[in-house]
Each structure stands twice: as C-alpha cells, then as structure tokens.
Amino acid sequence: MRPEQRHPRSHNYEAGRSTQAQAYFAKVEGEVAKSTRERNTCAKYGGKHLSAAISEQKGKPMTNIARDQDTRDGGKIGQIASNPVDVDNIVRRAWQAIHEGAEGCIETAVAQFLGIYCSTVFKRKPYVVDDIIAEMVQSSFSKTQESAGALDGWSPKELSLLSFDAYGHIATLLDQIEKGAPWPRSSAHARVVFLENWEPTSGRS
C-alpha cells in the first residue's frame, strides 16, 4: 500500500504514539527538575550542590587539533591529528612560539605589537604627580584609623603624633623613593618579641 493510501486508522495510531512520547518526555523532564530542585534546596547539602551547578565547568582535554606541519608518517599540514602525542607536540610548538616572542627577541616582539595595535592603544598625557611634602604626610597620618602596630613596632596612633619636622623628613624620604631611590635597608627589618620561658621551681629562665 502506498503512503497516500494508508488507512486513516494508521494515522491516528501514529499521532497517538507521538502524543504519548511527548507526554513521557515531559514527565521525565519534570521529575529531573524536581529532583534537582530538591537537591539544591536541601538544608544540609543544598549549598554544595547549588555551587557545583552554577560554577564554571572544568576544562576538557584537547582530543584533536589541526597539524601545523607535515610529519614523517604521512600526515599533512591542516589534517586533523587525534594521537595524544601528536596533539601534545602541536600545542607545545604553538605555545613555545608565543613564549619566545618574535624569535626570542623582546624588542622585535614589542615593535611588531605596536606596529599592529598602536592605533588602538589608549594614549594621553602622563599624569603629573606633585612632590610629597610634610603637610601631605601629616594629613595622611592624622586620618589613618587606629589599628594594631606594624612589624616595625610603630602603630598608626604613634605616627599621628609626630612633630612637623619628622613629617618633613618622612616626606623627603618618600619623595626620593618615588623618584627612583631604593628603600632604606632598615625598612626590611622587623621587630620581634620573644616571651621569656620562666621556670617557677628553679627560678631560672
């Protein structure tokens, strides 16, 4: 029997099966959604499940890649390689070229980059920073919130009580550092306090 001569009953049967299938899939989707909702709203483990559901998926390993050169076993450039060893070698060569820049010369790499992207790089006049003076240091220290002392033993409260001459010396120091001078070697030292180990029975420390 040709398709156009099939009995109307067969059309009804196929339509009924399609409706049943749609209803079945809708029921399954509803059960899956309900189960997921219950897991995410669980008072004990819901936060963990919800975090896993919305977090970024872990990156999958690269399984194939286009060849970047002809190989001895007959592989041609542009063909897809799926052998893990070949994939690893191709990726290594690509990243090595990026790592070495323009033939390992950073000056050439910078020149090529600017030649391509210079027109799109944001440009403006350099910011002019005023010299650090005593008034600036005093104003900054006086607004510092009280907290625990630093490793050098100075606390913010103590720094806010210095004399104006001391602020001037600190301003000179910071201004020279901003202009390229190295930090004093003493700034790398910290104050360490040890508790004495006292022995009550012997009276020795």
57 band by pLDDT with thresholds 50, 70 and 90: low
**How is 113-159 classified by DSSP, letter by letter?**
HHHHHGGGS---PPPPPPPP-HHHHHHHHHTSPP----TTS--HHHH
For the chain, strand residue ranges (E) read 65-66, 80-81
Measured in whole angstroms, the distance separating CA 180 from the mean position of its chain's CA atoms is 31
In tens, the pLDDT along 177-187 reads 988 899 888 87
The angle subtended at Cα 169 by Cα 165 and Cα 172, nearest 5°, is 135
Which of the residue ranges 25-29, 49-53, 91-95, 134-138 has the most confident prediction, judged by mean pLDDT? 134-138
Give 84 or 46, the one with higher predicted confidence. 84
> Please, what's the b/e burial string for 26-36 (b: 16 or more CB within 10 A of its CB; e: otherwise)?
eeeeeeeeeee
In tens, the pLDDT along 146-172 reads 777 666 677 778 888 889 999 999 999
Cβ atoms 62, 72 nearer than 8 A? no
Is 62 a residue whose pLDDT tops 60? yes
52 band by pLDDT with thresholds 50, 70 and 90: low
For residue 163, give the nearest of 136, 143, 134 by alpha carbon: 134
Give 160 or 204, the one with higher predicted confidence. 160
| Helix, coil or strand: residue 86 | helix
Q: pTM value?
A: 0.36
State what percent of residues in the chain have pLDDT above 70: 70
In tens, the pLDDT along 15-50 reads 666 777 788 888 888 888 887 777 767 666 666 665
- Mean pLDDT value across the chain: 78
Domain ranges (residues) in the chain: 3-54, 65-120, 134-188
Contacts of 50 (CB under 8 A, 6+ apart): 40
